[in-house]
Structure 1
Amino acid sequence: MTAAYTLYAKPGFAATTIERLCSEARISNRAFYECFGGREELLQALHQRCVEESLSVVAKALQEAPDTLEGRVRAGIRAYIEFATADWRRARIMHVEVRRSGDVLSMSRQRAIESFARVIQEAAADFPQDPHVNRRLLTLGIIGALQELLIEWLLAETQPAIDDLVATAVHIFMRSLGAPRSGTVPG
Structure 2
Amino acid sequence: MTAAYTLYAKPGFAATTIERLCSEARISNRAFYECFGGREELLQALHERCVDESLAVVSKALQEAPNALGERVKAGIRAYIEYTTADWRRARIMHVEVRRSGDVLALSRQRAVASFARLIEEASADFPLAAPLNRRLVALGAIGALQELLIEWLHAEDQPEIDELAEVAVHIFERILR
TM-score range for the pair, normalised by the shorter chain length: over 0.9
Q: SS of the counterpart of 1:160? A: coil
Aligned to 2:56: 56
The more displaced of 49-58 and 130-139 is 130-139
AA matched with 1:32:
F
Aligned to 1:95: 95
Q: Which structure 2 residue ranges, 5 or more long, are not aligned?
A: none
Percent identity, aligned pairs only, is 80
AA matched with 2:122:
E
Aligned to 2:70: 70
Aligned to 2:4: 4
How far apart are residue 121 of structure 1 and its match?
Answer: 0.5
How far apart are residue 60 of structure 1 and its match?
Answer: 1.1
Aligned to 1:139: 139
C-alpha separation in 1, matches of 2:8 and 2:96:
10
C-alpha separation in 2, matches of 1:164 and 1:10:
25
Which of these two proteins has the greater Rg computed from alpha carbons? 1
C-alpha root-mean-square deviation of aligned residues, in Å? 0.9
TM normalised by structure 1 equals 0.93
Structure with the higher fraction of residues in helix conformation: 2
How far apart are residue 57 of structure 1 and its match?
Answer: 0.6
C-alpha separation in 1, matches of 2:130 and 2:36:
46
The more displaced of 66-75 and 3-12 is 66-75
1:98-128 per-residue CA deviation (whole Å, 9 max, x = no partner) reads 0000000000000000000011001100111
C-alpha separation in 2, matches of 1:124 and 1:67:
10
How far apart are residue 131 of structure 1 and its match?
Answer: 5.2
Q: SS of the counterpart of 2:128? A: coil
| Contact 2:2–2:25 (8 Å) recurs in 1 | yes
C-alpha separation in 1, matches of 2:130 and 2:65:
25
AA matched with 1:105:
L
The more displaced of 9-18 and 134-143 is 134-143
Q: Which structure 1 residue ranges, 5 or more long, are not aligned?
A: 179-187
Report matched runs for 1:1-187 at 5 Å. 1-130=1-130, 132-178=132-178
Q: SS of the counterpart of 2:10? A: helix
1:15-73 per-residue CA deviation (whole Å, 9 max, x = no partner) reads 00000000000000000000000000000000000000000111111111122111111
AA matched with 1:173:
F
C-alpha separation in 2, matches of 1:71 and 1:132:
23
How far apart are residue 79 of structure 1 and its match?
Answer: 0.2
AA matched with 2:17:
T
